[in-house]
Amino acid sequence: MKQQALELAEKAHVGQKRKNSDAAYITHPIRVAERLEANGFSEELVCAGYLHDTVEDTLIEIEDIEKKFGPKVAELVAAHTEDKSKSWQERKQHTIDTIRNAEKEIKYLVVADKLDNLLGLEADLKEQGDIVWEKFNAGMAKQKWYNQSIAENMHDGLDNEDIPAFFKEFEDAVKRVFG
């Protein structure tokens, strides 16, 4: 099933590039899925890692994911899919509310995604400088608010033994990028 999820994500994201580079977009969902798999999470969660941006950024619909991968993968992807008809602020507040209240697998997916995005941003800032912020829908101050809010709310409802090491990686990256 994981191979099928990777293949669907590769087809869906074909031709797409990362925000501040010429890197193929698919490198991002692959890293998210690999991080989830390295932490020993379920096959469904790893598949959701590969597919987490397909509904939001491609022609794939949540029904396609449910039909091919089942209700659990579809539920995970749907929980982390932004409604692009809403404003940036509304979408990000929804993600913050989701991370605060969601079941742990959704938290793991969201934080794995945000960590990979933040590590990419950190590398882009080192390489290109502050011009990187011009490619975002919201500038540095709003990005800081968003990422700090994720970090502040991601532990809610989790026991210490349920918190993966990459949550600390995310917190450390937030501090490095935003101070």
At 11-55, the pLDDT tens digits run 999 998 887 778 899 999 999 999 999 999 999 999 999 999 999
Could you say which residues of the chain have pLDDT below 50? none
DSSP three-state, residue 24: strand
Q: Within a 13 Å sphere around the CA of 100, how many CA atoms are in the beta-carbon half?
A: 11
Buried residues in 142-177 as b, exposed as e (16+ CB within 10 A): ebebbbebbbebbbeeeeeeebbebbebbbebbeeb
Pick the catalytic residue from 43, 56, 66, 82: 56
| pLDDT for res 101 | 95
Q: Which amino acid is at 119?
A: L
One-letter amino acid for residue 117 of the chain: N
Question: Has 43 been annotated as catalytic?
Answer: no
Q: Topology of 2-178 in CATH?
A: Hypothetical protein af1432 (1.10.3210)
Confidence (pLDDT) at 177: 97
* Structure confidence at residue 22 (pLDDT): 80
Sole residue written with tokens 């918190």: 163
**Annotated catalytic residue within 57, 122, 152, 169:** 57
Q: How far apart are CA 62 and CA 75, in angstroms?
A: 9
159 catalytic per annotation = no
pLDDT at 62: 97
d(Cα 140, Cα 174) in Å, to the nearest integer?
A: 12
Vertex 61 angle, CA 35 and 68, to 5°: 70
Q: How far apart are CA 57 and CA 80, in angstroms?
A: 12
Are 68 and 8 in contact by the 8 Å Cβ rule? The answer is yes
How much is the CA Rg of the chain, to the nearest whole Å? 15
Residue 134, pLDDT score: 86
**Separation CA 30–CA 47 (nearest Å):** 10
Cβ atoms of 10 and 60 within 8 Å: the answer is: no
Per-residue pLDDT, 100: 96
Provide the pLDDT for residue 51: 98
Rounded Cα gap, residues 50 and 64, in angstroms: 14
Q: Is 136 left (phi over 0), alpha (psi -120 to 50) or beta?
A: beta
- Check residue 93 and give its pLDDT: 96
pTM greater than the 0.75 cutoff: yes
